[in-house]
Structure 1
């Protein structure tokens, strides 16, 4: 056995899920049959298209030439599928449906995302971007990609999205998030113009009107002039409603098929219905789910390893004794991913983006998320707080504490607490700074500790003086430390042996609970992405592609292990192993090696 195998071993790729970001319908030129096309995002891997025969339910999977997936998907005349990718490269891919071959990828310079796309009245495909907040035009006949310009003069606006090409001569779209806007791009003149009310999005375009919506407010505009229409009372009833009622009474977006039937996708499942009057049956997407990036890890009381996918709102369980794995359906009605996972008395408590969700799941009972029985969604923090950036920990009071980041376009943070007995959720906005998110959370037998920084959803990182806070349940904030300029903390924070270890800047800072101050510093190269206890007297710090074992009493690094990649999820199991993930791969540092490090 090699030295690396003595230190850690690959035990599997148990996290497998679909994350369908876009859909289309086409008539396949190969067989003349109608196909439902799903654009699947595979976190940490290469995304794929899934073509499903709407009658036989047979599926064909076609891997993208590059990137993890795509929000942008357009069927161009049943000749090509045009795909705009994310989150790394903003590729424009085109699949020839007759030959099933991809054209050479095109790329939008300095962009990461293509968002949703639409065909304009000129037959070209239009797409918005992040972070450049631009509009692009793809010519499917010539296979060329052209930047039409940045859609906003506000440099803090990073998004242009929700593209609609149904208005003759115009491309309509929204953007933000620092300063929301609603714009129209005129195809003939190549110019942008504002129209409507900022913050509204285009709901529907017909020969009679353009409808925009924000919440329960509707506005109507002339489809040629873009001017407001007078006397539109009662026009809301004219809007097309394409929704199917699921067995739990909730609605799901319905996709019209050519033969009058409807299709829909919900998480890992889909349906085909004869009409919108029937309650459709959900079935699993009929192809194998890919292995995807592991975002969070936790151990149950028996040593089983649980985790969450990097995108797609599912969780998994891995049994180290048998090597078997189970993957869930969606854990809640919102999209996104689970950040926080904590076991208390055999139940798994989850916190999730994008709905600010608090969730409880009992593995001993049947799965019934559709009816909100198991897992059960508790009080959510949306719309004010949506991303549990700080993850979740068990506090000294037995509650589950989570650190939050605010809604898109807002710099702010909060703490929340789930009571595992009553399932009530309490929250505290702005625990230290009014304009900083909570980046990391830890706890010991007396306090909850947390850090803040200048991150936000939909906005660029803002350089600020970051904070460290000590929170006593029942009292609130009892201590605050301001970090030096450039000392940016993240989610890497751990509390043990009456000390708190916090990654800040290029070091791990050590807070002494007895003296209420930072007294030591451990320099680290390549930052520190995650820390966790690896036993009662051993701290594991994942720094770049290295694992540092630290004596928590002396705050001295006692052993270093080279890893196959960067780690953002790790847990110490009930069987005294250390489990960690590199992208989709799950590894284990065996208890015997951990014991040798401690000795």
Structure 2
């Protein structure tokens, strides 16, 4: 036997061994970052390098990267970018200026107080001044004595920082149950806190006495949004729902009704009176009210990718998805291996929460307000709310579908949407949109005090299955204990069956229907249930075996099996025997799903779109330990 043959045989055996033992990571493909844009949380006139209030600052947040300020010279259009000091400080809801012309921001998701000095152009991290569990600083305000006050989420804490002494103090919760605290410093030395959202209140805090009092009687505290502003007269004004009535706060003790036209609102202007605003997150507009002169400054900056919130299959066999903050629709073409940012797709500013295809069009429903829009891939791209717009804005579904988590498009030529209600509210709804007549209908509390967060269509039975979550709108406490499953008749538009499929489950994350019209569901406590909808009975409940299953991430594949996503695993369920198989561990955590096209699964991981090719033979079961 010659040496060449031996070497060749050894090489072949090595290749076979590697092939048999290799990890399935070869089946994954990183398709890149579809959207690369930051979100602007506010535009403010502030001090420049000389201390004069001659600069426009735009506060930007971005995914998995530092927040940053854009400093714009309104005369020259020159733009400078100042990245924040924390890699985990991705954005800020608060902005205020101290008596030494330094700028303060409150970061999320670590609730640190940050300071930027325009003179030195340097940042300082002043630390977390609320509780350890706080993730947001809701707002910041500067008191007459120069102290910086801030309120937090989810502890509704109130704190101050003194720039002169560098001392700080956390005064604890301003409300025993609510999550949000938005402070406004009055010229009278008192701190006025807007509390939201389940039982709104105005809490007045006296820094000298270190005591707080409530302006709204307990029996009158309802769900909703209230807002506080300090007028040019130094008085603090409150806008209260549901009629958006305005009141002036007198002496920190009572509310005096006032007309909105009599309120001296603060103006967003430069010292010379020029007004400014931001358009579509991209263009700064400056207007001179006297001369009528207008100036537009395109904003240019370096940003990380925008986090992918949802992924789905379009009517044209392409993959669509939405970024989160800002909301941008994107498309990936598997044949050409290219993705494209399609830009604005709705008047909603957050993210597309759900999507579905009907009659060659892609329907989207977005947060906030559950706004519906429709996109036709065959027509030119031109967003608006006119009949020839594409995507076309179709308006909001209403407060019971504020976060429209799930959609089924098709049955009876309609679009069905389930979701969470508005801030402070309990009990989401099921929405019906009829494209032919442009009609919207909402059925709230189909599952009492719960939100509908997963949907599936049982075609042979002509029924829609809906899974719930005990969660309500943001800032609420759950009332019910267990998630429910209902069957809903789309012809009569009424509920015909309700059951608790899994004990102790709080949310039914995903639903999917097999070829034999058997319904499968996955819950947040990592259970799989099987419903025979015709017999109205739960056939089986078994362990999923993988941690953190993803929302709306269970779909039937081309082989009749069901494919699903968890944070660290892709899995498959064979309905013939309910055998659950592990397919692969993703190279990076799975954050959002899910599209299935042929034998390829698409999902979001951070700001990147990923593809996974389903192997012909699954790997051995590999549940999380």
Give yes or no for TM over 0.5. Answer: yes
Give the secondary structure class of the aligned counterpart of 2:402: strand
CA distance change for structure 1 residues 268 and 208 in 2, over 3 Å: closer, same or farther?
closer
Mark the CA change 1:545 to 1:573 in structure 2 (over 3 Å): closer, same or farther: closer
| 1:551-566 matched pairs, under 5 angstroms | 551-566=574-589
Work out whether 1:472 is the aligned partner of 2:495: no
CA–CA distance in 2 between the matches of 1:282 and 1:416? 40
Give 3-state SS (helix, strand or coil) of 1:515's partner.
coil
2:116 paired with 1:95: yes
Equivalent residue for 2:271, pick from 239, 258, 271: 258
Matched with 2:350 is 336
Q: Deviations over 1:531-586 (max 9, x none)?
A: 22333523221123011122233321234201134434333354542111112121
Q: Which of 216, 224, 236 lines up with 1:210 in the alignment?
A: 236
The 1:209/1:40 distance shift into structure 2, 3 A limit, reads closer
CA contact (8 A) 2:400 2:444 kept: no
Quick check: 1:395–1:447 contact (8 Å CA) kept in 2? Answer: no
Structure 1 residues 536 and 104: CA distance shift in structure 2, 3 A = same
**Aligned residue in 2 for 1:250:** none
Aligned to 2:26, the other structure's residue is in SS state: helix
Alignment match of 1:417 (pick from 415, 432, 446): 432
CA deviations over 1:99-146 (Å, ceiling 9, x no partner): 333324501322111112111111111111111011111223444442
Partners of 1:20 and 1:51 lie apart in 2 by 13
| Paired position in structure 1 for 2:96 | 74
Contact 1:58–1:286 (Cα < 8 Å) also in 2: no
* In 2, Cα distance between equivalents of 1:49 and 1:490: 40
Aligned equivalent of 1:377, options 393, 396, 411:
393
C-alpha separation between the residues in 2 aligned to 1:534 and 1:168? 65
Q: 1:255 to 1:137 in 2, by over 3 A?
A: same
The Cα of 1:196 is off from its aligned counterpart by 6.4
Cα deviation, 1:447-497, whole Å, max 9, x if unaligned, reads 211111211221134551220111121132222211343122333222232
SS at match of 1:37: strand
Q: Distance in 2 between matches of 1:522 and 1:56?
A: 65
Moved more, 96-105 or 505-514: 96-105
The 8 Å contact of residues 106 and 145 in structure 1, kept in 2 or not, is answered as no
Q: For structure 1, which runs of at least 5 residues remain unmatched after alignment? A: 243-253
Q: State whether residues 196 and 228 of structure 1, in contact with CA within 8 Å, keep that contact through their aligned partners in structure 2.
A: no
Q: Distance in 1 between matches of 2:332 and 2:157?
A: 43
Shift of the 548–211 alpha-carbon distance from structure 1 to 2, 3 Å rule, reads: same
Report the TM-score, using the length of structure 2 for normalisation: 0.84
Q: What do the CA deviations read for 1:414-451 (whole angstroms, capped 9, x no partner)?
A: 111222333322221122x2211112122242321111
Change (3 A) 1:527 1:220: closer
Alpha carbons of structure 1 residues 282 and 400: separation in structure 2 relative to 1, 3 Å: farther
- Go from structure 1 to structure 2 and tell me whether the alpha carbon gap of 1:393 and 1:148 turns closer, same or farther (over 3 Å shift): same
Q: 1:265 to 1:301 in 2, by over 3 A?
A: same
Q: 265-274 or 546-555, which moves further after superposition?
A: 265-274
Aligned to 1:499: 518
Conserved in 2, the CA contact under 8 Å of 1:17 and 1:314?
no
Question: Structure 2 vs 1, CA of residues 305 and 141 (structure 1 numbering), >3 Å: closer, same or farther?
Answer: farther
Is 1:583–2:606 an aligned residue pair?
yes
- Structure 2 vs 1, CA of residues 322 and 119 (structure 1 numbering), >3 Å: closer, same or farther? farther
Q: 1:183 to 1:589 in 2, by over 3 A?
A: same
SS at the partner of 1:397?
A: helix
Q: Which residues in structure 2 correspond to 1:100-139 (within 5 Å)?
A: 100-107=121-128, 108=130, 109-139=132-162
Question: Structure 1 384/541 Cα, relative in aligned 2: closer, same or farther at 3 Å?
Answer: closer
Q: TM-score, normalised by structure 1?
A: 0.87
Paired position in structure 2 for 1:400: 415
Residues in 2 aligned to 1:229 and 1:465: alpha-carbon distance in whole angstroms? 44
Q: Contact 1:300–1:574 (CA<8 Å) still a contact in 2?
A: no
Distance 1:144 1:40, change over 3 A: farther
CA RMSD of aligned residues (A): 2.9
| 1:160 has 2:181 as partner | yes
State the SS of the aligned residue for 2:572.
strand
The structure-2 alpha-carbon separation of the partners of 1:370 and 1:164, relative to structure 1 and needing over 3 Å to count, comes to farther
Structure 1 residues 379, 173: closer, same or farther in 2, change over 3 A?
Answer: same
Q: Aligned pair in 2 of structure 1 residues 534, 6: CA closer, same or farther (>3 Å)?
A: farther
- Structure 2: gaps (5+ residues): 1-18, 620-625
- The structure-2 alpha-carbon separation of the partners of 1:12 and 1:189, relative to structure 1 and needing over 3 Å to count, comes to same
CA shift for structure 1 position 85 = 1.4
* More displaced stretch, 301-310 vs 448-457: 301-310
Alignment of 1:245-394 (within 5 A): 255-276=268-289, 278=292, 284-363=298-377, 364-369=379-384, 373-389=389-405, 391-394=406-409
Give the aligned partner of residue 248 of structure 1.
none
Q: Would you say the 8 A contact 1:121–1:170 is kept in 2? A: no
Of the two, which has the highest radius of gyration? 2
Q: Is this contact kept in 2: 1:204–1:239, CA < 8 A?
A: no
User: Kindly tell me: are residues 225 and 172 of structure 1, through their superposed partners in 2, closer, same or farther at Cα, counting changes over 3 Å?
Assistant: closer
CA pair 120-594 structure 1, distance change in 2 beyond 3 A: same
SS at match of 1:579: strand
Alpha-carbon distance change, 511 to 382 in structure 1, aligned in 2, over 3 angstroms: same
Tell me how far apart the structure 2 counterparts of residues 83 and 490 of structure 1 sit (CA, whole Å).
38
The residue matched to 1:343 in structure 2 has which SS? strand
Please state whether the residue corresponding to 1:360 is helix, strand or coil.
Answer: strand
